[in-house]
Amino acid sequence: MIILSTLKVLFLLLFHSFLAEAIDFSDKETAAESWDILAAYSQASEWPNLSRDRAIGIRAQRDVSANVTIDYIVTPGVDLSRVVFEPYGYNAGSLQYLKTLMNVGVQTFVLDLYYDETNRNWLLCPKSRLLNDTASSDISECSISTFNLTSLITTMNQFLSVTNNDLDINVMFLLVRLNSLSSTGLSFKANVTDSNITSLSTAFSGINKIVSPSSIDGNALPTLNNLLFKLSQRVFPVIIENNLPTNSTYDLSVDKTTFFTFARSSAFEQPVPGYPTLNLELQNSGNMKCQQIDLPANSSSSLRFSYDTRSSPFTIQSYWESVQCGYSPIISHSLEDISNISTFLEVSSWAWAPFQPTVTNLDELNIPNLFSNLTNRDLPAAFTTSNYTSTALQKSPEIITADNNNNTIISGNNEISDDNPDDEYVNRCAAISKIGWIATTCDRKLFAICVNIKNSSDYAITVEKKSYMKADIECKALDGDYQLALPRNTIEQNYMISLIPLHEDTIWIDLNSLSSENCWVVGVNSNCPYQLVVSNHIFVRMITPSTVMALLLFLLLFVLQFQRIPVHKNRKYWRKLLNEKLKNDYDGVPS
Ligand SMILES: *[C@@H]1O[C@H](CO)[C@@H](O)[C@H](O)[C@H]1NC(C)=O
Ligand SMILES: *[C@@H]1O[C@H](CO)[C@@H](O)[C@H](O)[C@H]1NC(C)=O
Ligand SMILES: *[C@@H]1O[C@H](CO)[C@@H](O)[C@H](O)[C@H]1NC(C)=O
Ligand SMILES: *[C@@H]1O[C@H](CO)[C@@H](O)[C@H](O)[C@H]1NC(C)=O
Ligand SMILES: *[C@@H]1O[C@H](CO)[C@@H](O)[C@H](O)[C@H]1NC(C)=O
Ligand SMILES: *[C@@H]1O[C@H](CO)[C@@H](O)[C@H](O)[C@H]1NC(C)=O
Ligand SMILES: *[C@@H]1O[C@H](CO)[C@@H](O)[C@H](O)[C@H]1NC(C)=O
Ligand SMILES: *[C@@H]1O[C@H](CO)[C@@H](O)[C@H](O)[C@H]1NC(C)=O
Ligand SMILES: *[C@@H]1O[C@H](CO)[C@@H](O)[C@H](O)[C@H]1NC(C)=O
Ligand SMILES: *[C@@H]1O[C@H](CO)[C@@H](O)[C@H](O)[C@H]1NC(C)=O
Ligand SMILES: *[C@@H]1O[C@H](CO)[C@@H](O)[C@H](O)[C@H]1NC(C)=O
Ligand SMILES: *[C@@H]1O[C@H](CO)[C@@H](O)[C@H](O)[C@H]1NC(C)=O
């Protein structure tokens, strides 16, 4: 018995380590099968956990933007009322959805608060729901004892405290709408109105690492790195709408040390007069101004958010355009199921292409029509044969529709043999394509994009296609002080995309994971800043007493029977076995 289960663990261990290293799907898999593999590792199939691809991608994107001021940061957002509370109820159970959303990488939340003018308490429940509660006895919503601002903040804090580490920390925006609720003449029960939240400042000061307006100049925002690591703050509380009447019994002036608001550009009235302002833009997604902004990107930008409406909800295409435009998209319509947000999240990175970087060692560039197949599933048009004019900022409604478009993304001379012995280096280097960065094999021969060290708005393309290792050398060989370039924000991204030569689908950028799998760094010789943490992180989960035992046994076996484990000779066999295994067991990746 023990031996059997140990063997099982042993096999799993073997399986794990091989999966992480030795799979190369390029040989026989068709595009459709590859798609299925991609889909299996997608956010949708990992729900409610953050998919490993996205965890790695989000971290790389954050690190690349470390020195970028936070007005260039693009975050996925949701309107909590529309996406969570209305469909799932104003109750404690919905707070679990909030938790899940934070886990899968949603960083911007719109929160409605209701001030009960009669009882002088802040509530999370709108009047219509309270009325329904009184009318019907079966609905048990809005129960103050479990669903109140304090419990919501506790839920946020749980997430914030587990992600307060170098690997996972990120910025968050809490956009608040203040509403008034008059309960005069209505007999609400105390168990729905007595929240005992009489001061917003007191409640919000309980948020872990909340950004204090006194420490930040709202018109000259800090870099992401300074915010997170120097100021050690991460949650922006912003009042975006104030619907309290002028004769409200709540005195908002006392909260101006806690909240930001923003100056409206059109009307001179700001939501809350006298509050510290953030340079912030909030646009209906139909009105986004995606004009081309010239390089170098000035820091006098603003935090930009776009929202959709019930009548014109985001499509994958418009969501993606918002991201490329530098507007953080806030989903404000209810979804069929909350997990359906996965598809949006898959295109929520301004940097990486959808499903990138992949953990499967599936090199998407080797698969004919894979991306055009993606576009058929309502993802952004990837590689159109047409002239890509300047940026993704332009509305490009054309979605490639036919699989028979001769539209593969394999560059002409694909010199990668099926038998590439160097599995270690599969998908360890990043190239930029029209839909973002793609992790691919470093041996691929591509042009590279270079930037002038002395003039950061002067870019050039190398004259010869070389492997990633030689890309920087090719840049240095150009006339002038050039080095391999990397886009740090959406503006640079769009600009560099516009420089991809006609007839080329991808060109090298300065990003690789050579030093450590799953840790993307700038420069060929750079080390992963989290190497120890990353490997511990991954390793700790695998180390349970039984796996330690199995590992010891395995080592023993290995030592004793070295000759009998023909791993290397039978590599292909292993691959085949693993491929087959993978089809039935997508969960087998250590994460
Ligand atoms: C696209 O995906 C569908 C469904 O998986 C598949 O049947 C089709 O063959 C794929 N097309 C290409 C060109 O890969
Ligand atoms: C999510 O993560 C938890 C804890 O790591 C794990 O127990 C659970 O199986 C995961 N769920 C899925 C769907 O992967
Ligand atoms: C950010 O700037 C600092 C100081 O200029 C530099 O040391 C660091 O490498 C930069 N980080 C990134 C990710 O560019
Ligand atoms: C209130 O209850 C009625 C009937 O139960 C329902 O039709 C209506 O949608 C509810 N309103 C809200 C805001 O939940
Ligand atoms: C509040 O208490 C009343 C009885 O006093 C009960 O009928 C109702 O279900 C309670 N509401 C909630 C939300 O707990
Ligand atoms: C708010 O919710 C928390 C957590 O459920 C609970 O401990 C607290 O008592 C609630 N507050 C009130 C005033 O009921
Ligand atoms: C209401 O909050 C105050 C502090 O804000 C606290 O002292 C008091 O015990 C709370 N009352 C209830 C019933 O929770
Ligand atoms: C505020 O004024 C409106 C009428 O202008 C009135 O109906 C309402 O009761 C007032 N509210 C308070 C809290 O005095
Ligand atoms: C960008 O900043 C430079 C100086 O930092 C300034 O001269 C230029 O006018 C700015 N451009 C825009 C469009 O604001
Ligand atoms: C939404 O998610 C549900 C459950 O996962 C699924 O059945 C449904 O097809 C999804 N809808 C869309 C439009 O993706
Ligand atoms: C591509 O753009 C250039 C300049 O913007 C233009 O001269 C050329 O005709 C365009 N090519 C195609 C195929 O549209
Ligand atoms: C696709 O293009 C290649 C060369 O670019 C050509 O050899 C091939 O015949 C084309 N296939 C189709 C189906 O048009």
Report the alpha-carbon distance of residue 314 to residue 347 in Å, rounded.
12
In the reported structure, the alpha carbon of residue 408 is separated from the centroid of ligand 12 by a whole-number distance in angstroms of 9
Residue of 550 and 587 predicted with greater confidence? 550
For 449, the 3-state DSSP assignment is: strand
Please report, rounded to a whole number, the percentage of residues in the chain having pLDDT higher than 70: 69
Atom number of ligand 1 nearest to Cα 376: 1
In the reported structure, the alpha carbon of residue 337 is separated from the centroid of ligand 10 by a whole-number distance in angstroms of 6
Residue with CA at minimum distance from ligand 6 atom 12: 145
- For ligand 4, whether the C-beta of 88 sits within 6 Å is no
Query: 175-224: per-residue pLDDT in tens?
Result: 999 999 987 777 788 888 899 999 999 999 999 999 999 999 877 899 99
- For ligand 5, whether the C-beta of 142 sits within 6 Å is yes
Count of CB atoms within 10 A of residue 355's CB? 27
Query: 114-138: per-residue pLDDT in tens?
Result: 999 999 999 999 998 888 766 666 5
Closest ligand (CA of 588): 2
In the reported structure, the alpha carbon of residue 308 is separated from the centroid of ligand 10 by a whole-number distance in angstroms of 20
DSSP letter at 547 equals: H
Atom number of ligand 5 nearest to Cα 141: 13
Predicted local confidence at residue 547, as pLDDT: 54
Residue of 1 and 586 predicted with greater confidence? 1
Residue 142's region, left for phi above 0, alpha for psi from -120 to 50, else beta, is: left
In the reported structure, the alpha carbon of residue 407 is separated from the centroid of ligand 1 by a whole-number distance in angstroms of 14
Which residues fall within 8 angstroms of residue 566, CB to CB, at 6 or more apart? none
pLDDT band at residue 93 using 50, 70 and 90 as cut-offs: very high
In the reported structure, the alpha carbon of residue 71 is separated from the centroid of ligand 9 by a whole-number distance in angstroms of 16
Q: Quick one: tokens of 87?
A: 């469909």
- For ligand 3, whether the C-beta of 229 sits within 6 Å is no
Residue with CA at minimum distance from ligand 8 atom 6: 247
In the reported structure, the alpha carbon of residue 132 is separated from the centroid of ligand 4 by a whole-number distance in angstroms of 6
Pocket test for ligand 6, best of 98, 145, 191, 193 (most atoms within 8 A of CB): 145
Q: Which of 20, 63, 58, 61 is nearest to 530 (CA)?
A: 63
In the reported structure, the alpha carbon of residue 70 is separated from the centroid of ligand 3 by a whole-number distance in angstroms of 15
Q: What is the mean pLDDT of residues 536-549?
A: 52
- For ligand 2, whether the C-beta of 591 sits within 6 Å is no
Closest ligand (CA of 384): 11
Average pLDDT value for the chain = 77
Q: With contact defined as beta carbons under 8 Å apart, do 70 and 223 qualify? A: yes
Which residues fall within 8 angstroms of residue 149, CB to CB, at 6 or more apart? 113, 122, 124, 195, 197, 203
Report the alpha-carbon distance of residue 468 to residue 509 in Å, rounded.
9
Report the alpha-carbon distance of residue 499 to residue 505 in Å, rounded.
11
pLDDT band at residue 517 using 50, 70 and 90 as cut-offs: confident
Residue of 13 and 506 predicted with greater confidence? 506
Residue with CA at minimum distance from ligand 9 atom 9: 298
Count of CB atoms within 10 A of residue 425's CB? 18
Q: What is the mean pLDDT of residues 72-89?
A: 96
Question: What's the first-to-final CA gap in the chain, in angstroms?
Answer: 28
Predicted local confidence at residue 192, as pLDDT: 86
Report the alpha-carbon distance of residue 77 to residue 85 in Å, rounded.
15
Residue with CA at minimum distance from ligand 5 atom 14: 143
**Considering Cα of 451, then 454, then 455, then 460, what sign does the dihedral take?**
negative
Q: With contact defined as beta carbons under 8 Å apart, do 39 and 360 qualify? A: no
Q: Is the pLDDT of residue 432 over 90?
A: yes
Pocket test for ligand 5, best of 146, 191, 193, 194 (most atoms within 8 A of CB): 191
The domain made up of 53-345 has a fold known as: TIM Barrel (3.20.20)
pLDDT band at residue 542 using 50, 70 and 90 as cut-offs: very low
Among 163-177, 341-355, 414-428, 476-490, whose mean pLDDT is lowest?
A: 414-428
Query: 247-275: per-residue pLDDT in tens?
Result: 999 999 999 999 999 886 655 578 888 89
Residue with CA at minimum distance from ligand 4 atom 3: 132
pLDDT band at residue 36 using 50, 70 and 90 as cut-offs: confident
- For ligand 3, whether the C-beta of 230 sits within 6 Å is no
Q: With contact defined as beta carbons under 8 Å apart, do 507 and 501 qualify? A: yes
pLDDT band at residue 377 using 50, 70 and 90 as cut-offs: low
Give CA separation, 361 vs 36, 369, 414, 428, 581, in Å. Answer: 14, 18, 17, 9, 16
- Reported pTM: 0.77
Q: With contact defined as beta carbons under 8 Å apart, do 532 and 519 qualify? A: no
Residue with CA at minimum distance from ligand 4 atom 6: 132
**Considering Cα of 88, then 92, then 96, then 102, what sign does the dihedral take?**
positive
Cα 299–chain centre separation: 23
Pocket of ligand 9 (CB under 6 A): 298, 300
- What residue spans define the domains of the chain? 53-345, 364-512, 536-582
For 456, the 3-state DSSP assignment is: strand
Predicted local confidence at residue 222, as pLDDT: 94
Q: Is the pLDDT of residue 570 over 90?
A: no
Residue with CA at minimum distance from ligand 8 atom 1: 247
Predicted local confidence at residue 106, as pLDDT: 98
Predicted local confidence at residue 7, as pLDDT: 41
In the reported structure, the alpha carbon of residue 48 is separated from the centroid of ligand 1 by a whole-number distance in angstroms of 27
Query: 479-491: per-residue pLDDT in tens?
Result: 999 999 999 999 8
How many residues are recorded in the chain? 591
For 18, the 3-state DSSP assignment is: helix
